[in-house]
Amino acid sequence: MHTRWLVLPLLAALAACTPGIKEGVPSPSRTIVVPEGYQEVYRRADAYARACWGTPKALVRGAWPVSGNLYSDTRTAVLRVGNDGQVTDLERFDIRQLENGTEVTITVWGRGIVFDEDELERALGAVKRGAVPCR
């Protein structure tokens, strides 16, 4: 019985330390509108994420998993740079086709040395220009 009271605070503390974007916790985020269609924006975001985070040479420790989906029925897409072994995202691209362009919201974890404001600006540049400006 007493063990439960020791384990529950420990589990809560570990959950709070798990890296990644979490509901209710502020993370750097920016929303822009670009003139390209949502599929092109998804392609640019995917190329950027895979080149910068999805290859073993991108990080000394290895690659972060990159995953995403295009939803043609709603003309939306989501792309995630994952936290290996965790359910939280370190970076996320939410993409939505508008009447005259595409709205993109990019969110980064905001802590640590790589998923910060600088990363947010680089990801925005990749979506706008199609370039892959990795660190």
Q: In this predicted structure, what is the pLDDT of residue 12? A: 42
Question: For the domain that residue 67 is a member of, what is the CATH number?
Answer: 3.30.530
Cα separation, 11 vs 6, whole angstroms: 9
Taking residues 18-29, report their average pLDDT: 83
Q: Is residue 110 part of a domain?
A: yes
| Contacts with 69 (C-beta within 8 Å, 6 or more apart), sequence order | 77, 78
pLDDT in tens, 56-107: 655 545 578 899 999 999 999 999 998 666 668 899 999 999 999 999 999 9
pTM score, two decimals? 0.81
Q: Both tokens of residue 20?
A: 């990644």
Q: In this predicted structure, what is the pLDDT of residue 23? A: 80
**How deeply is 40 buried, as exposed, middle or buried, from its count of CB atoms within 10 A (0-12, 13-18, 19+)?**
middle
Q: Is residue 135 part of a domain?
A: no
Q: Is residue 20 part of a domain?
A: yes
Q: In this predicted structure, what is the pLDDT of residue 15? A: 45
Q: In this predicted structure, what is the pLDDT of residue 79? A: 96
Write out the residue range of the structural domain in which residue 80 sits. 2-129
How many domains is the chain partitioned into structurally?
1
Q: Is residue 134 part of a domain?
A: no
Q: Is residue 37 part of a domain?
A: yes
